[in-house]
A and B are shown apart, each in its own frame.
Chain A
Amino acid sequence: MASIEQQLQQQVLQAYHDKTALEICAGGSKFKPSNGQAQRLDVLPHSGIIEYEPSELVMVVRAGTPLAEVQSALAAQNQMLGFDPPFASDGATIGGAIATGFAGAGRPYYGGARDFILGAKIINGRGEVLQFGGKVMKNVAGFDVFRPMAGALGTLGVLLEVSIRLLPVPPQQKWISVICEDQAQAIEWMNKAHFKCTTLSAAQWQDAAIMMRLSGTPQAIEYDLKYLPAYAELGVSSDAALLAVAERRADFFAGSDCIFRCVLPPAADPIVLDDVQQLMDWGGAQRFIKASASEQRRIEEQVTALGGRAMPLLPNRLHSPLAGTAQELFSIQKKLKAALDPYSIFNAHLMPQVS
């Protein structure tokens, strides 16, 4: 009987020959399937940890493996994924975590999916099974084709296996809160803390308070606490609150208003709008604005002027990986896509219809 990998390859080969679209799916935790006509390519059965040697700080794992399974295997060895991928409890898979590149609160301090991926085995749009990168920390043989897979939403190829660099779990964590009504002040403090505190691993601002997570040895945390302005130590873990923001289910995200996600340099000035709610994550580098959809233009203008970009969150849908691409880059992006998937069979519903 053909292996799952061979079955997946067969399905892609067929689609390549027929020039028909495939919609890649796995855990289904982040969006609903499109209503399109595309045949589904289900990666979920391609599951299991292939190689995990804690002292190498590397795990090689099949893409359909549930994130929860990966996280519990790592936790047993006191290790973790550095990029805090969300939606584990909704059945997210490691492949989906890489393909979307979604990252939690630790993103500015530890890195993103693209920083932790060391290699990948993929099926390209010609149905070829290819392996790029490897399972070692340093590897400069050939182009890093595996890295752009992070955030490409499957449009550059089907992830079969990924190898990921791991981090040790910090010996201690502390959660503190600092009252701060003024947004500009909050931006300044979060950035100062990033500069001064080696243990800072999350910094969020909402409801007139900064919440910070410190992770490290007790001695290092003790040292860093001296630098922070009047703070209150939170007795309990606030990881659930951090995750609620990463999964967009915190109270802030409720309601009928539009939520704009803005990414910008962390110390960028506040986005000034009357009567809107704002939440800052990633130490100021990711900001959410809750506003009426009609504010889109004003928000985009301000954020662009601050060196960032703003996009509205879509309910149960994802933006195209090419959304917002600068005009001069668009043609190379399309050529890269064509180099890997010449007939645009993968997740065609996510590709902009531009010739």
Chain B
Amino acid sequence: MHATSLSALKQKLSAALPPDCFIDDAVRMAPYECDGLSAYKQMPQLVVLPENVEQVQAVMRACQETRTPVVPRGAGTCLSGGATPHPDGIVLSVAKLNQILHIDEKNRTATVLPGVRNLAISQAVAPLGLYYAPDPSSQIACTIGGNVAENAGGVHCLKYGLTVHNVLQVKMVLLSGEVVTLGSESLDSPGYDLLALVMGSEGMLGMIVEVTVRLLPTPPVARVLMASFDDLGKAGEAVSAVIAAGIIPAGFEMMDKPAIRAVEDFVHAGYPTEAEAILLCELDGVEQDIEPQLETVTTLLKKSGAVEVGLAEDEAQRALFWSGRKNAFPAVGRISPDYYCMDGTIPRKALAHVLQTIAALSKKHGLAVANVFHAGDGNLHPLILYDANKPGELERTEEFGGEILDLCIAVGGTITGEHGVGLEKVDRMCVQFSDEELAQFRLIREAFDPDGLLNPDKAIPTLNRCAEFGAMHVHHGKMSHPDLERF
């Protein structure tokens, strides 16, 4: 960025925001140089932390006038580089926009500023017997603004949906500085469903400044079963058997042996370390309803070949079972200098094939992999273990990861279930989508941000970028050169 336009921007901003809303020294900006995908680092020109909506409007207008890129940032827990700064731009943080504005008990909604943490919403409404359902693993830290930008999921979304299903209304500041309200507190709103379009738009359409979420009654009882299997394929079939029986568990998670072992060493959750796979199946509701369902699920799991099925005896053990799953990423972080977390979704029936192929790729690349899986909704998180200090290993890891994503597309799935495209998977978008589809995304983006200054270079690749990437083209499961040997 030219020094002159930076100083022009600073001048405009200083007129609208107090000095303690800026960070521009390298030391204090350092925490902002990356998000949860720490392999990508970039210093911004400036970090701006507005305290109210008017200030956000002023920042957006100033950035439009000085043509400065804006990278919105929640808690920075994004795993795809969605919040990685732009070298010529500012980071626009929601850190100071962290108040819960209003809780409407009768209509079961809460209206909050975007910097409110996901878990803080549930904590605030817990005395009313309510909670906010989407629960990404980072929920202790991640913000609702970031959740909207990423359409965050979590372990309970098979039954309770994603962010898009649990947010009624957002207020958003456009790059022009205008504030628009999308959605409403009613069940339908006039006009096209822009609210749905903004969900998961990765900060490219506007800056979220207020969110009204739907709250659900806290289920009186939640019980979790753990089943161990001597074969991954059987575990996959067990998941299908339960769902085909008409039971929608609140959470349905799978881990393979390397993940089980890493977790067990870390949190001592009581996982069977000899098993090839475990399933965690949570049912919630009222006691009288849960008991017979637990029996049915136990029978189905055993029929599908479970070696052992155990029920968490009390709330403490239930929390322990879940703590293993929720700590799977840090647990893997302990056994390997670095790990790379992938995030594809596949139709569940393809699970055995996909896991076998990942195992073969693991051998080919000489890199170990641990798999954790939101089994209920087909969202796979292979964790590739590598050492960034070994020359070439990160590159091999990225290649391995890319092949996993291509595989997800080939079996009818997607390159990202919940972590977003960000910087990380922007090239793979050229594989999942055609040139016309990508062009359509860009046109839609221009409807909101004609200047292309909001989170540039993320999520939607340019055609040039796709040409440079020159990937083998697997589009909608069809390879462009099916005669070539792939693995």
A residues lining the B interface (CB < 8 Å):
53-58, 78-79, 101, 107-108, 111-112, 114-115, 124, 128, 130-132, 134-145, 147-148, 150-152, 156, 167-169, 171, 191, 194-196, 198, 216-217, 219-220, 222-223, 263-268, 282, 285-286, 307-309, 321-326, 328-330, 332-333, 335-340
Contact = CB atoms under 8 A, between A and B. Distances in A.
B160 to A, nearest CB: 11
B190 interface: yes
A151 B192 contact: yes
Pairs of residues from A and B, 5 with the lowest C-beta to C-beta distance, nearest first:
A168-B246, A324-B190, A335-B447, A147-B196, A137-B377
A115 B188 CA distance: 12
Contact of B161 (A115, A168, A282, A285): A115
Given A55-B243, A145-B197, A329-B194, A128 B440 contact: yes
Given A138-B414, A145-B444, A328-B181, 19 more contacts: A55-B240, A55-B243, A78-B246, A134-B345, A134-B414, A136-B412, A136-B413, A138-B157, A141-B429, A142-B432, A142-B460, A148-B197, A152-B193, A216-B289, A217-B289, A307-B185, A326-B190, A329-B182, A336-B447
A130 B440 contact: yes
29 contacts: A55-B240, A55-B243, A115-B164, A130-B436, A137-B157, A137-B379, A138-B157, A138-B377, A139-B414, A140-B420, A140-B421, A141-B429, A142-B459, A143-B445, A147-B193, A147-B196, A148-B193, A167-B248, A169-B246, A195-B217, A198-B219, A223-B289, A263-B188, A285-B187, A307-B185, A308-B185, A322-B190, A324-B190, A340-B440
B153 interface: yes
A128 B433 CA distance: 13
A139 B345 contact: yes
Contacts of A217: 289, 292-293
Contact of A107 (B187, B289, B293, B349): B187
Contacts of B217: 195-196, 198
A145 B197 CA distance: 6
B409 to A, nearest CB: 9
Contacts of A131: 434, 437, 476
Contact of B348 (A55, A223, A322, A324): A55
B436 A101 contact: no
Given A55-B348, A267-B107, A286 B187 contact: yes
B286 A150 contact: no
B414 to A, nearest CB: 4
Contacts of B417: 136, 138-140
Between A216, A222, A265, the greatest number of chain B beta carbons within 10 A of the residue's beta carbon is seen for A265
Interface string B240-273: 1101101110000000000000000000000000
B107 A220 contact: no
A56 B440 contact: no
Interface string B446-479: 1110000000000110000000000000001000
A20 to B, nearest CB: 22
A112 B187 contact: yes
Nearest to A130: B437
Contacts of B310: none
A136 B190 contact: no
A63 B53 CA distance: 42
A117 to B, nearest CB: 9
Contacts of A124: 440
B126 interface: no
Interface residues of B, number: 90
A148 B440 CA distance: 14
Between B129, B164, B197, B460, the greatest number of chain A beta carbons within 10 A of the residue's beta carbon is seen for B197
A230 to B, nearest CB: 22
B162 A138 contact: yes
A154 B309 CA distance: 50
Contacts of A282: 187
Contact of B447 (A107, A139, A286, A338): A338
A168 B248 contact: yes
Between A169, A171, A191, A266, the greatest number of chain B beta carbons within 10 A of the residue's beta carbon is seen for A266
A299 B285 CA distance: 40
Contacts of A286: 187
B27 to A, nearest CB: 34
Interface in B131-164: 150-151, 153, 157-158, 161-162, 164
Contacts of B436: 128, 130
Contacts of B460: 142
B192 A143 contact: no
Contact of B193 (A141, A151, A222): A151
A336 B414 contact: no
Contact of A332 (B107, B129, B180, B185): B180
Contacts of A135: 347, 412
B429 A138 contact: no
B69 interface: no
B286 A198 contact: yes
A114 B193 contact: yes
Contacts of A114: 193, 196
B89 interface: no
B166 to A, nearest CB: 10
B247 to A, nearest CB: 7
Contacts of A150: 193, 196
Nearest to B151: A140
A148 B194 contact: yes
Contacts of A168: 246-248
Nearest to A192: B106
Contacts of A285: 186-187
Nearest to A119: B414
B165 interface: yes
